[in-house]
Amino acid sequence: MIFNIKKNNPEQIQSKNILLLYGDNKGQKDEFIETNFKFLKENIQKIDENELLKNENSYIESLLNKSFFEEEKLIVINNATDKTLSFIELILEKKITDTKIILISGILETKNKLRKFFEKDENVLCIPFYPDDFRTLNLIASNFLKKIKISISSEALNLIIERAMGSRVNLENELKKIEMYLIDKKKIEIGDIYKLTNQSDNYDSSTLVNNILAKNKKKVSLILNENNYQNDDVIIILRTFLAKTKRILNILETHNSTKGSLDQTINSFKPPIFWKEKEIVKKQIQNWSKSKIYNLIEEINELELTSKKFPDMSLILLRNFILEKAI
């Protein structure tokens, strides 16, 4: 059964023992679990799907033989796919109701078996978690800065949100950096924020992706040759790639609906596009149609899954993908 997170109903959440949380908003998933299952904080068991599949019978047996005097607990299954479905069906068949089970998954397509099952079955709950929009991130950042009694310009606030790249986890990390920086200071300038925030970790990734989408092949080759990327960088680059690709899609859709000039669409877009990026964003939009962007998003998601499955090959796969898309 589908649950609307915007209309949070604690009673409905607690009425179900098995939940699927899917989507690419990790921060909101963590917040959801913390808010709704804090009473089980001391009795949470976290496992990966691979571990569950290897010991599925043992987990079923332990749940069936759970003592009446044992406290209720929560099992969180990370990286869940449709391979977990047989386990969930067995739990429902055996009517095991004294243990909460939460499946954590990434983006699931509409036809995915796990998602379809959770959307249709009335005994379970299915909750999608989409990327945070500008308004949500702005509210989180504003409340944080208000709490530590710091006032900054709108331009500086927008920069912090831009560096978060649609993730409240990234945003909270950036805000913590700023809080630490302000331990012995009373104010912060936008120049300080440029130095403190995501720049050192993701600036090269951002520049790389911008030039791929703009099809600046020479610049892309130069960046690849000058940077000593490691396997650990692959997911960061792919997430940056996905965020900027989705931004192009949103700009194209806004531009088509408003029918104004491209410059007007870019200038009024939320979250704001900083002046340094506006020209390259315009070039990106001219290079991509909506249909090609949809295909690219799908390819990025597939490459991320493959990279996680074969981490030793991920850097080679990414490099080949980048060079192909930069042409």
The tens place of each residue's pLDDT in the chain, 327 residues long, gives 776 666 567 788 888 899 999 987 888 888 888 888 887 777 788 899 988 998 888 888 888 876 545 677 889 999 899 999 999 999 999 888 888 999 999 888 888 999 999 999 999 999 998 878 888 899 999 999 888 888 788 888 888 887 777 778 888 888 887 887 777 677 788 877 877 765 444 446 788 999 999 999 988 988 887 777 778 788 888 988 998 999 999 999 888 888 778 888 888 888 778 777 889 999 999 999 999 999 999 999 999 999 989 988 999 999 999 999 988
Q: Is the dihedral of CA 136, 142, 144, 146 positive or negative?
A: negative
Half-sphere exposure of 79 (CA within 13 A, CB side): 11
CA dihedral 308→165→22→101, nearest 10 degrees, is 90
> How far is CA 243 from each of CA 23, 167, 219, rounded to the nearest angstrom?
14, 10, 20
Structure tokens at 306: 């493959």
Residue given tokens 């390819």 in the structure block: 299
Pairing of strands 99-105, 73-78: parallel
Residue 212 backbone phi and psi in degrees, to 5: -65, -50
pLDDT attached to residue 176: 82
Instruction: Give the separation between CA 118 and CA 108, rounded to whole angstroms.
Output: 12
SS3 51: helix
Return the pLDDT at 314: 92
* Cα–Cα distance measured from residue 269 to residue 129, given in angstroms and rounded to the nearest whole number: 23
Chain centroid to CA 133: how far? 12
- The reported pLDDT for the residue numbered 233 is 81
pLDDT at 201: 45
What is residue 283's predicted lDDT score, i.e. its pLDDT?
A: 93
Find the angle CA(319)-CA(323)-CA(325) to the nearest 5 degrees: 115
Q: How far apart are CA 288 and CA 196, in angstroms?
A: 33
Q: With contact defined as beta carbons under 8 Å apart, do 59 and 87 qualify? A: yes
What is the DSSP pairing of strand 18-23 with strand 44-48? unpaired
Burial label for 307, CB within 10 Å (0-12, 13-18, 19+), is buried
What lies within 8 Å, CB to CB, of 258 at 6+ separation is 264, 265
Q: In what order do the strands lie in the sheet with 44-48?
A: 44-48, 73-78, 99-105, 18-23, 125-129
CA proximity to 37, closest of 56, 54, 13: 13
Residues 43 and 126: beta-carbon distance below 8 Å: no
Alpha helices in 182-313 (DSSP H): 190-196, 199-213, 217-226, 233-258, 262-268, 275-287, 290-309
pLDDT at 66: 67
Q: Find the helix or strand (DSSP H, E) in which 44 lies.
A: strand 44-48
pLDDT at 202: 43
Instruction: Output the pLDDT for position 139.
Output: 92
Q: What is the pTM of this model?
A: 0.56
